[in-house]
Amino acid sequence: MNSKKIFIKDVQINYILVGNGPKKIIFLPGALGNVFKDFVPQINNLNRNKYTIIVWDPPGYGLSRPPIRDYSTGFFYRDADYVLALMKELNIHKFSLVGWCHGGVTALIAASKATDAVQSVVTLGTNAFITEKDMQIFEEIQNVENWLPERRQPFLEIYGETYFTETWSAWVDAFKIILKENQGELCSEILHKIKVPTLIVHGAKDPLISIEHALYLKKKILQGS
3-state secondary structure string, 59-118? Answer: CCCCCCCCCCCCCCCCHHHHHHHHHHHHHHHCCCCCEEEEEECHHHHHHHHHHHHCCCCE
**pLDDT of 155 over the 90 cut:** yes
Residue 1 pLDDT more than 80? no
**CATH 3.40.470.10 matches 4-129+185-224:** no
pTM for this predicted structure: 0.96
187 contacts 108 by C-beta, under 8 angstroms: yes
Sequence spans of domains, the chain: 4-129+185-224
Own/partner contacts of 204-211, CB < 8 Å, gap of 24 or more, are 206/125, 207/137, 208/101, 208/125, 208/137, 208/138, 208/141, 209/101, 209/125, 209/126, 209/127, 209/134, 210/133, 210/134
Q: What is the pLDDT of residues 47-83, one digit of tens each?
A: 999 999 999 999 999 999 999 999 999 999 999 999 9
CA pair distance 95, 144, nearest whole angstrom:
36
> Is the Cα torsion angle 121, 104, 111, 48 positive or negative in sign?
negative
pLDDT in tens, 99-148: 999 999 999 999 999 999 999 999 999 999 999 999 999 999 999 999 99
